[in-house]
Structure formats: structure tokens, C-alpha cells
Amino acid sequence: MKTTTKATAFYNVFERKGGPHKETTHYCPGCGHGNVHKMIAEAMDDLGINDKTVFVSPVGCSVFGYYYFDCGNFQAAHGRAPAVATGIKRANPDSVVISYQGDGDLAAIGTAETLHAANRGENITVFFVNNAIYGMTGGQMAPTTLIEQKTATTPRGRVESEHGNPIKMAEIISTLPAATYVERVAIGNSKHIMKARKAIRKALKNQVENRGYSFVEILSVCPTGWKMDSPDARDWLTDQMIEAFPLGVYKDESSEREDGWYRDVKPFVPAELNKYFGVNAEADVAPVDLKKDLFCKFAGFGGQGILTMGLFLAQIGMRADHNVSWIPAYGPEMRGGTANCSVNVSNKRIGTPLVERPNVMVAMNLPSLEMFEKDVVDGGVILVDSGIVDKTPDTDRLDVVMIPATEIADEVGTPKVANVVMLGAMIAATDAYSLDFVSETLKVVVKKKNLIDMNLAALQRGYDFVKNGS
Amino acid sequence: MSRQFMKGNDAIVVGALQAGCRAYYGYPITPASEIAHAASLHFPALGGTFIQAESEVAAINMVYGTAGMGIRTMTASSSPGFSLKQEGMSYLAGAELPCVVVNIQRGGPGLGNIAPEQADYFQVVKGGGHGNYRLITLAPNCAQEMCDLTSKAFDLADKWRNPACILADGFIGQMMEPVEVPEAKEIPFDHSDWCVRGDAETHKNLVSSIVLEPEDLEAHNFKLHKKYLEIQESEVLFEDYKTEDADLVVVAYGITSRVVYSTIDQARELGLKVGLLRPITLWPFPSEKLAELAADGTKKFLSVELSTGQMIEDVKLAVNGKCPVELYGRCGGVVPGGEELIQRYEEIMNGKPISDGGVR
């Protein structure tokens, strides 16, 4: 196709195109892409959006859209243009993003991206050039190939029972509530082309006015793929394709959606981030001595607050300016009726966060005691909820504390604070931190502020049980 | 300084935001989902973008779109999801788009399980997608590094116009530790000469990985190759703990490096002179350092990894036959304990074959 008068949205000379002929397109004679490109370029001119337009070329014959359009250009992977367009539009909601796709790209390999971009109501414009065949790869069946149509991969013609039916994308997309405007047009004759021009312009204008997702399916021709000359191809489009793919407006809520689909984003402002994350805030650290490193395994039933107990201890250690780590049971340890976590509190850099040989163990059910007692180092502290576990660990080898933590918690107000009773007992049994320090820290780390008093009472009771036996 | 107690996965989001990342695209998968949770909380609150994409494939292509706009963006997943992103990774590398991708590795192959593994090393470090390309690959081993190396990954990605990967494992992602939140600073990179922003300044630019003419594509590949060589020369990071006088140099990254670190002093108390060489960048790999350690031919090397032997190939290439290189690998979510490792050190140093042939 020799181009004589061109829209300014086209380059004058197609420098990106290789070879000697930089004023003609790469399309075959009679191809429909030239018509569609021209209508888009003219609409861009009319709307004055050349600078802010970003044209996404897919894989297929229109892979080289960037040869021609004098605007920002992206080349995308096969079928992914709507996802790429989403990433572009969300990064700059003031850009005008065109996803220009063929039938294989949009309705086969990229069906998911197509439907979900529409379903999110991305404020983009999708031009779907449906020519019922794969052109670039050599005339294979497309998702929109007609019944009985012969292609390189349907040599006996498309058969419903074997290949399914031509897929009707405009109809499908029009069922999605977030889509604003869906129309199917054609380029079979000049009447078609007039309607197509109008639809293309409207679909772009909608985006400029932030009215949301617009989808224009354009029934086009592929004389090469169809093995026809150009006039026959136009006739076949008009006679056969339109019967399978009726033209018309399938959905139009454009007038109701002015500026409704502008998704604002803010640029990166370091000071705002620093404020948000409290980078310059005074750290709540009150360094105290740690007499002995704690390698803890806390275990019990799910729901007993075992993991939270570990989190409390780790945060106490952090506030005391010690090195800490917390990790929940993960992998093979998750089996066997025990929810558990490993906590390290150390003066030194912590190596493995997994506590293999604890020197402090809390067992709040029998399976936990049976699973982990043997791992506790000689002379280690083991605390057992004696109201739940009917077994005493090896008192010769270990420093054993039997404490009815859940019963005490009940007396305090709820069995849910049994973990904090246990924490108080653990603090007392190990002398790791003072009760005052732990109480002060709990006031900070307990998230529900109305539960602080009950937690402090539970902590005190556990502590007293070990220190005073009551 | 603000010191906060957080999961490794959450620390990634903090590190990304402080580095100026403005858009997150992801798909849920255990054990990486906390990254999406935190991103969905913080990105919109700070005027950024969060999209739960329809697929991993869509997520990585949304990254392609935003990265092509010259804006910092990321996605995160775990092994099976990361496999799905490989097409996009290749396009990103081909089009030279800076971005950060995170892989919190879990057990494979196939659906495997949700427990930690390090068996995506080949996929991430050697390729994964099609064509000649490399991913700058950082391997954090604590929550602080999950934050800091994510920030650094954005700088490296911008500096080299290349995707950068955070390769961690389920343990490092799930573990909670104190994190000092780094200060956010202005980004010292300008991409106006190549990115497409949808404005007058950049409207002549093209983001693309297609190069049709054979000679041109060869030139593009050679250009990328030259870039990769420069990265190898200038961006290697590692941690060296007592390798200088070690008879046995243990090489480990991520969670296994934490376990190995715990064993070094214990082993030395038992008279075993062991040291740890921890690659922080897996690509570029600290080959030069390993070659240096192997130069006089007196040491032994051991690769400890949660795989049946992947990183060991790079250790062997670096050692280049000068010293013996052994493997100890566990899989499926099983992490070797310290005592188990020390037993292997003893076996190797006494010239015995490793129990179970090095892979259990």
C-alpha cells in the first residue's frame, strides 16, 4: 500500500522498518490492517493525543505497529497486551493506551488477560482486529475461524464437533459490568468503514474522558490467509463473516461514566514514605542485660496462643536491644497435633532461627511434651500446663515447672490468657528479664488495648506462681 | 531509627516502597502471599498501585508495562508461580526493563509442597525463560536483608537496565526479626532516553524485545553479554566467615547459610577448622573469591543446599578441579540441623565418604 496523505499520528518515513522501502507498510496487498491503522491515526489526530498515546503492539501481523505510529510504543508478548496496557495505564493514568490485537492474540492465547482487563474496567481502548485466521504464522485456524472455513490446520474445514465454534468476543465482553462500550464493526465496504471510523474515534474519546474500558471488534480481511484476491475477500467478509459475527453496539454506557474511571496515582515522595514508616521516630528501646541466651520452643494446641507467646517474648527481647528471631512451625514440624514456634533471644548474632536444642521449653499439651522433651538440653527449663498435661517430665535432667496455666487464666478472666500466665512463669523461672520490664513491654505490644489489664494480671499470676508457689 | 518486628515477606514490601517502588502486581501463592497482603495494604495507602492479577503471567506483563514507563515496579511469587512468569522474564530482559521479581522458593517439582526448598537455583540463576539473558540474583538470609536487598535490587535493576531477582525461601519469608526501616531517598536514575511515559518527551521511544534482522539481533545479544560481563566484574557480594584458615569451606545461602553459620564456631571447638562463604549475589556468583580460596589446593569445599545439587555446579566451576567439592542436600522442606552438618564436616575432613552420598 503506497501511502500518499498521512495522518500526523503516522511517521512520514517508517525508519524502524528494515529494508529499502521505508514509505510502504509490511502488510500484504489488500490487508485490512492498513484501513484500521489509518482510522486510528486519524482519530488520534482529531483528538490531539499523539504525544500521550501509548500503542501496544501484540504478536501477530500487527507486531510492527511501532513502525508506523508516531507515539510511544510498546511491543508485548503474545496475548499479553491487555496486561501490559494495564501496567502502562496504571503507571500514568493521563496516558492514552491502545491495545491493538488480532484474533489469536486476543481470543485464544490472551483470553484471560482480555477478559480481566475488561472486568477491571481498565480505562484503556482495545481494538480487536478479527480476520478469522492466523496471518503471521501462515494461515492456521483462529478462535474466530468460521464453521467450514479451511485453514492450514483445518484442511477439511472447521467442524463444530472437533474444533468448537467461532468465539464471539464482543458478546462475551458486553456481559461484564465494568466494560463501558462494546461495538462490532467491519471494513467490508465504505458504509462499514464510516461506522468503524466513528466507533474507533468514540472508543478513544471515551478513554480521554476517563469513561473506562472500550472495546471495538473490527471484522477485517486477510486475502493472503484466505487465499482470495482483495475484492473477493471484501465480499466474503460482507457475506459470510457478518452472518457469524453480527455488527452493532453491544453495550454503551459511555454517557453515564464521565471521569468515573480515572485511577489517580501519586509520585514517589521520600519524605512521605519516611513519615509513613516512622523512619525518624524515636525507637522504643530500653537496653537491659541478658544473663543467658534463650533458645525457646513453645508448643501446644492451635488456639492456645502459643505463637503469640513467642511473638511477645521476641518483642520483649527486641525492646531490650537483644538479637531475636521468631519462626512458626513449618515443614515436617507442623504434623502431630502441635502448634509450635522457635524463639531465639541472644546477645550474639543469631544463626539458625530453628531451635534444635532448646534451653527453655513450654508444653501446653501432651503431644508437644512427648515430641520435644527429649530435645531440651540438660538442665534446661521446661514448663508444663499441669491442668492439661497429665505427665511430668524428667525432673532429674530438667528444671521442671508444673503450672496449671489455663486454670489460672480462667480465674483471671479468660483461658485465652493462659499463654501470658505461661510467659510470666517462664520469665520467673529463667530470670531472663524483670517483671517490670516485661509488663512495660506488654503494654506496648498487646494490640487490643482493652485487654492490657487482663494480660498484666495473667503475667503477674504466672510470675508469682513460680516465685511464691501461688 | 525505626526498628520494627516483621516477617521477611513484609520486609520485602517495606524495602520496595522505601526504594520508590510504586506498583505491585501479584497473584496469591503460599508461602509468598504475605508479600501481596502487605503490598495491598501499603501501596494504595501511599498513592501507589496494587493489582491482584488474574494470573502470574498477567502479573509479570503488568510489571513489563509499568517498568517500560520508567517507574519502579515489582511482583512476587513462589516456585510454581515463578515458573509461570518465565516468558515475561525473558521479555523484560530482552527489552532491558528494570524491575524486581521475588521468588520465595517452596518444594518442587510440580505442585510439590509449601515447605522451603532451594531447588529453583537453576531456573533463576541459569535462565528459566528462553534466550541469552541473566537475572541479577540476590539471596537474603534474614528479615533485614529481605528489606535492604530489595531496595538494592531496585538500584541494580535501574543501573543496569535489567530485571533483578530476590531469591529467598519459605523460612526466610515466614521468619520474624527486627528490621531497621531504611530511609527513603530520591532515585538517582533518569530513564527519559528509553522509557515510554505517554508524554511529549518520550513519545519517540520504543519498548521492545523484537530485533528482526539476524545481524542486529546478534549485536543486541553481544551488547547484553557485555553488560552481563560488567555486572560479573562489579556487583559480586558475599559474606566471609572464617574461611581464611579453614580446611573446609562451606558454601550456603538463604536459610541454610543461617544453619551453617551456627555450626562454624561449634565445629571449631571440636577442632574442625570450618568456614562459611555465603554468596549474597547468586548471579553474579562469587567465583573469584572461591577460586582464590581454592588456589593452593589445600582446602575442601562443601555445598549445603535444599536441593539435590544445583549451586554446587557453580562452586565446582569456580574451584575448577583444584580441590574436592562435596554436596550435602536436603529437600521437600527438610532443613539440615547443626549436629547433622557437623557430622558431615567430620566425615569430609577425615576423608570418608559422606553418609548417604551427600544427598539424603
Q: Are residues B194 and B212 in the same domain?
A: yes
Q: What are phi and psi of A88, to 5 degrees?
A: -70, -50
**CB < 8 Å to B266, chain A:** none
Q: Are residues B76 and B195 in the same domain?
A: yes
Of residues A340, A310, A291, the one with CA closest to residue A422: A310
The dihedral region occupied by A388, where left means phi > 0, alpha psi between -120 and 50, and beta the remainder, is alpha
Question: Which tops the pLDDT comparison, A58 or B12?
Answer: B12
Query: Is the separation of the CB atoms in A224 and A35 below 8 Å?
Result: no
**The pLDDT of residue B355:** 74
Query: Is the separation of the CB atoms in A203 and A123 below 8 Å?
Result: no
Q: What is the mean pLDDT of residues A240-253?
A: 98
Strand order in the sheet with B300-305: B238-241, B274-279, B248-251, B300-305, B325-329
DSSP state at residue A10: B
Query: Is the separation of the CB atoms in A14 and A38 below 8 Å?
Result: no
Strand, helix or coil for residue A24: strand
- Give chain B's domain count: 2
pLDDT at residue A302 is higher than 90: no
To the nearest 10 degrees (0 to 180), the angle between helices A435-445 and A418-430 is 150
Query: ω into residue B116 within 30 of 0, thus cis?
Result: no
CA dihedral A130, A131, A136, A142 (to 10 degrees): 80
**CB < 8 Å to A94, chain B:** 198
Strand, helix or coil for residue A58: coil
Give the minimum alpha-carbon distance from B17 to chain A in angstroms, rounded to a whole number.
Answer: 7
B196 contacts A54? CB cut-off 8 A: yes
If one counts every other C-beta atom within 10 angstroms of the C-beta of residue A267, the result is: 10
Strand, helix or coil for residue A358: coil
Which chain A residue is nearest to residue B266, measuring alpha carbons? A351
**The pLDDT of residue A5:** 72
A9-23, A351-365, B96-110: least confidently modelled range? A9-23
Q: Are residues B160 and B246 in the same domain?
A: no
B200 contacts A280? CB cut-off 8 A: no
**CB < 8 Å to A266, chain B:** 46-48
Query: Is the separation of the CB atoms in A100 and A55 below 8 Å?
Result: yes
C-alpha count within 13 angstroms, C-beta hemisphere, residue A213: 23
| A19 close to B (CB below 8 A) | no
CA distance B200 to A114: 28
Chain A from 356 to 385: CB within 8 A of any B CB: 356
pLDDT at residue A15 is higher than 90: yes
Chain B from 144 to 173: CB within 8 A of any A CB: 170-171
Which of A12, A67, A84 has the most B C-beta neighbours within 10 Å, making it the best mutation to test the interface with B?
A84
Helices (H), A77-182: 81-91, 103-104, 111-119, 160-163, 169-173
**CB < 8 Å to B87, chain A:** 77
Q: What is the mean pLDDT of residues B117-134?
A: 96
Of residues B286, B267, B284, the one with CA closest to residue B275: B267
A52 contacts B198? CB cut-off 8 A: yes
To the nearest 10 degrees (0 to 180), the angle between helices A405-412 and A418-430 is 120
B17 contacts A273? CB cut-off 8 A: yes
Is the interface score ipTM higher than 0.90? yes
C-alpha count within 13 angstroms, C-beta hemisphere, residue B150: 35
List residues bridging with A306 in a β-sheet: none
Which cell is A84 given? 501490559
Q: What is the mean pLDDT of residues B149-164?
A: 98
Contacts of A314 (CB under 8 A, 6+ apart): A324, A325, A326, A343, A345, B5, B176
| B294 close to A (CB below 8 A) | no
Of residues A24, A92, A107, the one with CA closest to residue A58: A107
Of residues B142, B210, B149, B152, the one with CA closest to residue B172: B142
Strand, helix or coil for residue A381: strand
List residues bridging with B7 in a β-sheet: B176
Residue B255: CATH number of its domain: 3.40.50.920
Write the pLDDT tens digit of every residue in B19-54: 999 999 999 999 999 999 999 999 999 999 999 999
DSSP state at residue A469: -
pLDDT at residue A3 is higher than 50: no
Q: Are residues B187 and B267 in the same domain?
A: no
**The pLDDT of residue B353:** 79
B184 contacts A91? CB cut-off 8 A: no
- Strands A294-300 and A53-57 turn out to be unpaired
Residue B67: CATH number of its domain: 3.40.50.970
Query: Is the separation of the CB atoms in B36 and B79 below 8 Å?
Result: no
CA distance A109 to A99: 15
Q: Are residues B216 and B138 in the same domain?
A: yes
Q: Are residues B18 and B100 in the same domain?
A: yes
| A120 close to B (CB below 8 A) | yes
Q: What are phi and psi of A267, to 5 degrees?
A: -75, 170
DSSP state at residue A333: G
Q: What is the mean pLDDT of residues B106-123?
A: 96
**The pLDDT of residue A1:** 42
pLDDT at residue A283 is higher than 90: no
| B9 close to A (CB below 8 A) | no
Q: Are residues B203 and B255 in the same domain?
A: no
Choosing from B172, B202, B234, the residue where a domain stops is: B234
pLDDT at residue A433 is higher than 70: yes
pLDDT at residue A4 is higher than 60: no
CATH of A294-468, one of 3.40.720.10, 3.40.920.10, 3.40.50.300, 2.30.110.10: 3.40.920.10
Strand, helix or coil for residue A223: helix
CA distance A58 to A50: 19
Q: Are residues B270 and B205 in the same domain?
A: no
Chain A from 310 to 329: CB within 8 A of any B CB: 311, 314-315, 318, 324-328
Contacts of B100 (CB under 8 A, 6+ apart): B16, B21, B72, B73, B74, B150, B153, B154, B157, B163, B164, B165, B166
Give the minimum alpha-carbon distance from B53 to chain A in angstroms, rounded to a whole number.
Answer: 8
**CB < 8 Å to B259, chain A:** 351-352, 354
Which of A115, A279, A331 is nearest residue B333 as measured by Cβ atoms?
Answer: A331
CA distance B355 to B360: 8
A204 membership: H or E segment, kind and range: helix A190-208
Alpha carbon A365 to its chain's center: 39
Write the pLDDT tens digit of every residue in A382-427: 999 999 999 999 999 999 999 999 999 999 999 999 999 999 999 9
To the nearest 10 degrees (0 to 180), the angle between helices A33-47 and A190-208 is 40
If one counts every other C-beta atom within 10 angstroms of the C-beta of residue B135, the result is: 25
Chain A from 238 to 297: CB within 8 A of any B CB: 263-268, 270-274, 276-281, 283, 285
Range of the domain at B83: 3-234
What's the mean per-residue pLDDT of chain A? 94
User: Which CATH number is associated with domain A33-256?
Assistant: 3.40.50.970
pLDDT at residue B178 is higher than 80: yes
**The pLDDT of residue A447:** 87
In degrees, to the nearest 5, what angle opens at C-alpha A76 toward C-alphas B93 and A179? Answer: 135
To the nearest 10 degrees (0 to 180), the angle between helices B8-18 and B143-160 is 40
**CB < 8 Å to A55, chain B:** none
Q: Are residues B153 and B11 in the same domain?
A: yes
**The pLDDT of residue A85:** 98
A325 contacts B335? CB cut-off 8 A: no
Chain B from 328 to 347: CB within 8 A of any A CB: 333-335, 337-339
pLDDT classification of B360: cutoffs 50, 70, 90: low
Q: What is the mean pLDDT of residues A15-37?
A: 92
Write the pLDDT tens digit of every residue in B68-87: 999 999 999 999 999 999 99
What's the mean per-residue pLDDT of chain B? 96
* A-to-B residue pairs, Cβ atoms closer than 8 angstroms: 257
CA distance A433 to B192: 56
Q: Domain residues of chain A, as ranges?
A: 33-256, 294-468
Q: Are residues B176 and B244 in the same domain?
A: no
Assign 3-class secondary structure to chain B.
Answer: CCEEEEEHHHHHHHHHHHCCCCEEEECCCCCCHHHHHHHHHHHHHCCCEEEECCCHHHHHHHHHHHHHCCCCEEEEECHHHHHHCHHHHHHHHHCCCCEEEEEEEEECCCCCEEEECCCCHHHHHHCCCCCCCCCEEECCCCHHHHHHHHHHHHHHHHHHCCEEEEEEEHHHHHCEEEEECCCCCCCCCCCCCCCCCCCCCCCCCEECCCCCCHHHHHHHHHHHHHHHHHHHHHCCCEEEECCCCCCEEEECCHHHHHHHHHHHHHHHHCCCCEEEEEECEEECCCHHHHHHHHCCCCCEEEEEECCCCCHHHHHHHHHCCCCCEEEEECCCCCCCCHHHHHHHHHHHHCCCCCHHHHEC
pLDDT classification of B3: cutoffs 50, 70, 90: confident
Q: What is the mean pLDDT of residues A275-285?
A: 88
Which chain A residue is nearest to residue B205, measuring alpha carbons? A72
